[in-house]
Amino acid sequence: MSDTVLAVKHLKTHFFTRHGVVKAVDDVSFDVRRGETLCLVGESGCGKTTAALSVLRLVDSPPGKILGGDIAYHNDNLLGCPDERLRQIRGKRIAMIFQDPQSSLNPVFTVGDQIAEQIKLHLRLKRKEAMDRVLQLMERIGIPKARERMKDYPHQFSGGMKQRVMIAIALSCDPEILIADEPVTALDTTIKSQILDIFQGLKQQKSMSILFITHDLGTVAGIADRIVVMYGGRVAEVGTASDIFHQPKHPYTHGLINCLPKVATGRIRLAPIPGTIPSLIDPPKGCIFSPRCQQRMPVCDEHIPKEVTITSDHRVACHLFA
């Protein structure tokens, strides 16, 4: 497809720990298209963050190691290109926002300096020009009294404001792709919706692609164009937002959606998925979800399910549809 900006194919990232090999990401494929919001959804520990970090080769090594796969960004293979080239892409073309705004800013520099750093690094602007740009960015992202606040230190900012600063840093070089790793999880609901609005606005104005990582289906419902549901380091189901919410195929996706409180049906009890994620060091032999699956079949214990195409955009990895 021509409007694919980032194609991740058969990505394998494992962690080699003292207790064994953790297969955090095992054969994951997805693609990000121009101007869309792709959400990576799953429980804690399902490998969403590792997958996102692998895109920019940010997995700490050791213990982590990207064992295989292919990440294509235009003509560059991000897994194979030299470090120098990768540094040019990081921040300038593909930017990233992290979960915890409290610790994502360097406490000893002013906020303005930190936003300016990437600008000076990538766009080679002079200090004065860089500072003008910082001011614009801070205003665009909704930080009041930007001219004074840019001289403040991170501890003088609230959590929501810090996350805005992080977004400003990520946007400073007008990236093509924004990877946001749980950017609103640490924030309260009001701030959360303001930040999500900023994301929506950016996507429309700049036709930027967003890879949004979250475990919160409520957030996903608000912003996603397409959704990748991950479970135990593998992709369970990929589809458009309406596919996933209205016609979920994978039993795990069903389970996730049943966990959401619904106003319309008036159901009193939520239906959690029984059990927990199995150890990724020693996963079940067949389908990794099988121990918790209510529609488990004998084949599920034997073979890892292959991806089945339902419609051109909707794929599911489950033996039920094989």
Partner 1 sequence: MINRFSNKVGGLRNLIFIATLLALVLTLLLDIYALDRILAPLAYFYLFFALFFMFYGLYPLYANRRLTKYYWDRTKRHRLSILGLIFIIFLIAIALIGPFLTQDPTRVNFQEKNLPPSGFSIQQSVYDLKTGGFVTRETPGTLQHPLGTDDKGRDMLAMLVSGARVSLQVGLLATLMAVLIGTILGVASAYLGGWVDNALMRFTDVMMTFPFFLLLVFIVFIFGPSLAFIILAIGLTGWTGTARLVRSETLSLRAREFVMASKSLGASGTRIIFRHLIPNVISSVIVIATLSIPGVILAEAALSFIGLGDPTVTSWGVILNAGQRSLDTAWWVAVEPGIMLFLTVLAFNFLGDGIRDAFDPRSQL
Q: Which residues bind partner 1 (CB under 8 A)?
A: 56, 58, 62, 87-92, 95-96, 98-100, 103-109, 117-118, 120-122, 124, 126, 166, 169-170, 179
Residue number with CB closer to partner 1 (107 or 266)? 107
Residue number with CB closer to partner 1 (120 or 296)? 120
Question: CB atoms < 10 A from the CB of 196, how many?
Answer: 17
- How far is residue 51's CA from residue 275's CA, in Å, rounded to a whole number? 24
Residue number with CB closer to partner 1 (151 or 285)? 151
Q: Which residues contact 189 (CB under 8 A, 6 or more apart)?
A: none
- C-alpha neighbours within 13 Å on the C-beta side of residue 71: 22
Please report how close the Cβ of residue 108 comes to partner 1 at its closest, in angstroms: 5
Q: H-helix or E-strand containing 139?
A: helix 127-140
Residue number with CB closer to partner 1 (161 or 317)? 161
Residue number with CB closer to partner 1 (49 or 253)? 49
Q: Which of 230, 303, 203 is nearest to 44 (CA)?
A: 230
Please report how close the Cβ of residue 166 comes to partner 1 at its closest, in angstroms: 7
Please report how close the Cβ of residue 179 comes to partner 1 at its closest, in angstroms: 8
Please report how close the Cβ of residue 216 comes to partner 1 at its closest, in angstroms: 19
Question: CB atoms < 10 A from the CB of 143, how many?
Answer: 18
- How far is residue 10's CA from residue 27's CA, in Å, rounded to a whole number? 4
Residue number with CB closer to partner 1 (37 or 163)? 163
Please report how close the Cβ of residue 58 comes to partner 1 at its closest, in angstroms: 6
Please report how close the Cβ of residue 250 comes to partner 1 at its closest, in angstroms: 31
Please report how close the Cβ of residue 107 comes to partner 1 at its closest, in angstroms: 7
**Cβ-based burial of 118 (10 A; exposed 0-12, middle 13-18, buried ≥19):** buried
Q: Which of 180, 314, 178 is nearest to 243 (CA)?
A: 314
Please report how close the Cβ of residue 71 comes to partner 1 at its closest, in angstroms: 15
Residue number with CB closer to partner 1 (177 or 223)? 177
Question: CB atoms < 10 A from the CB of 15, how many?
Answer: 21
Q: Which residues contact 147 (CB under 8 A, 6 or more apart)?
A: 135
Question: CB atoms < 10 A from the CB of 264, how many?
Answer: 5
Q: What backbone torsions phi and psi does residue 273 show, to the nearest 5 degrees?
A: -80, 125
Residue number with CB closer to partner 1 (55 or 220)? 55
